Structure 1
Amino acid sequence: MAKLPPKTNSQQVTEYIEKLDAPVAQIVQAIRQIVLSVNPEIGEEIKWNAPSFLYTGEMKPFNPKEYKRYIMVMNLHKRILLVFPSGAKVIDNTGLLEGDYADGRRLLYIKDMDDLKSKEAGMKKVISDWLAQVEK
């Protein structure tokens, strides 16, 4: 029997979403589409047991433990929480990002699809502002 090629990161994200309960899966898929629509150099993968989004373009060398490529990681335990690991570097005029953590992360809670739709433009702005600060 021929060995199957490894699944792409996008295939892994799709399979992850397909296993979620319907209302959450719809919201997560919508978040995915929003994030990926911001810039073609945004990629996705399963990291920390959830869909995560990262910058795939050229960057200055850095310690991999700094996770500088990661724009946003989903936390789907009991709620939909979007974690921006280095969100503190973005001047957030949208008021969407919450928290003041010493490690620089900021959080965005999504209650339901209507809440997501109301935050979509702000999310795109936060992600665009984050991308503008990438050290290339």
Structure 2
Amino acid sequence: MDATPNSESQKVTEYIDSLDAQTKAVVEFLRELFLNVDPEIAEHIKWNSPSFYYSGQMEAFDAKEYKRDIAVINIHRGKILIVFPTGAKINDEARLKGKNYPDGRKIITIENLEDAKAQSAALQNGIRDWLSQVEK
């Protein structure tokens, strides 16, 4: 199967369709939120989860730095986690809930659809701040 954006989006759709109804509603909401922040945000399945990345031009970098990866929606033990691999660099003014980790990650727990909606403005601001730091 080719790795065009449409085939990658189809894989994300298939993943989401496999979720229970409550989790599916939250993940679909978050998916739309991420994709609507900027036209250069794309999606695929990475680390066995829906992932969002910057698809525009960037300066060369070591792939192990994860500079292109914005976030992963991870379902772990019934919890919905948004993992920003390099999220610790997001400005605190974005008001993102969650915890920063020494390895540079920020992880946010989403309890349900209402919680996702309540955090949507902060998530959008955090994503915009992340995008503003991309080395193009």
1:45 paired with 2:40, answer no
- TM-score normalized with structure 1 length: 0.92
Task: Identify the residue that residue 105 of structure 2 maps to in structure 1.
Answer: 105
CA distance, structure 2, for counterparts of residue 26 and residue 134 of structure 1: 30
Is 2:100–2:107's contact at 8 Å kept on the other side of the alignment?
A: no
Gaps of 5+ in 2: none
| Structure 1 Cα separation of the partners of residues 44 and 111 of structure 2 | 23
Equivalent pairs: percent with the same residue? 48
Taking the TM superposition and a 5 Å limit, the aligned residue runs for 1:1-136 are 6=2, 8-78=7-77, 79-136=79-136
- Alignment-mate amino acid for residue 90 of structure 1: I
SS at match of 2:99: coil
Q: Distance in 2 between matches of 1:95 and 1:6?
A: 38
Partners in 2 of 1:117 and 1:6 — Cα distance? 34
SS of the residue corresponding to residue 60 of structure 2 reads: coil
Q: Could you tell me how far apart the structure 1 residues matched to 2:107 and 2:76 are?
A: 14
Structure 1 unaligned segments of length 5 or more: list them.
none
Deviation string 1:10-69 (CA, Å, 9 cap, x unpaired) is: 000000000001100111000000000000000000000000000000000001111110
C-alpha RMSD over aligned residues: 1.2
Bigger Cα Rg: 1
TM-score (norm 2): 0.92
Bigger mean CA deviation after superposition, 126-135 or 102-111: 102-111
The alignment partner of 1:107 has SS state of strand
- Indicate conservation of the 8 Å contact 2:85/2:105, yes or no: yes
